[in-house]
Amino acid sequence: MDESSLIDWVFAHDPFLVFALGFIIVHEITFVGGSLFLAAIDYFDLSPESKIQKGKHPDKETIGFWNCLGLLALNHLVFQPLMLPLTYKIAVLRGMKMNLPLPSVLEVITHVAACLFINEALFYWGHRALHHPLLYRRFHKIHHHFHVPVAFSAEYVHPVDNLITTAIPLAAGPLLLGSHMFTFWIITVIRLAEGLDGHSGHDFWWSPFRYFPFRPSAAVHDFHHSANSGNYGGLLLLWDWLCGTDAAYKKFLAKQKTN
């Protein structure tokens, strides 16, 4: 049995298991691996020149390491598995292809670009809504316990927050477009990696996300945590620029230049 036949056989017997396990593996390798890599840079002080809030560190006494770990475990081990069956059903209805052949390079590029713009719009408006006082106190405030963010705090969120700012924006594009599952995985890696970069507390010169339009550096989202004001976008600052919610950040940058 060749590779193509083996994959077809696996999908024919339990396509949901492959869909779910594939997503979980991609998600966990990216998030856990990326978090540990960035944590090592922070812990061993390997890049002090890139530190954004120099001399400041997460307030572990206030947040509590086990509280962080507990909430991450809830989101990864309970919330995520509960969402996957529904996501799979919608994916099947939308005609998402899950086996060979893989999509063409052109299809991957166009779908990834479209999905990231969809992701950004949903993330911006969902994130901005969560800063409304009624929703902020109940759901989003816990994420802002980190005034000095670190990589793993990217998913230190209330499950409702996780649904609004992560699950729906991430899945919406691939489901709307009926993208191939492989494309869905690529989008997942890009969005997770950007979230880790934005919460890393470092402005790395080698970060590929510095070259995304409207997102000059990780300092954009770092400011959102330190000042708790504006910069609601994730991958881009397009919507912040259009809606003027980057005004506080622009004032901050102007003040830095005069000092």
Residue 191 and residue 10: Cα distance in Å, rounded? 28
Token readout for 79 is 């919330």
In the block, residue with structure tokens 């890049």:
47
Token readout for 186 is 């690529």
Non-local (6+) Cβ contacts of 145 within 8 A are 59, 62, 63, 156
Token readout for 83 is 């969402």
pLDDT digits (tens), the chain, 259 positions: 445 555 565 566 678 888 999 999 999 999 999 999 998 998 899 999 999 998 887 655 455 566 788 899 999 999 999 999 999 999 999 999 888 788 999 999 999 999 999 999 999 999 999 999 999 999 999 999 988 999 999 999 999 999 999 999 999 999 999 999 999 999 999 999 999 999 999 999 999 998 877 777 899 999 999 999 999 998 888 999 999 999 999 999 998 888 6
Query: In this structure, what DSSP letter does residue 166 have?
Result: I
List, for residues 135-152, the tens digit of each pLDDT value.
Answer: 999 999 999 998 899 999
Domain segments of the chain as ranges: 3-258
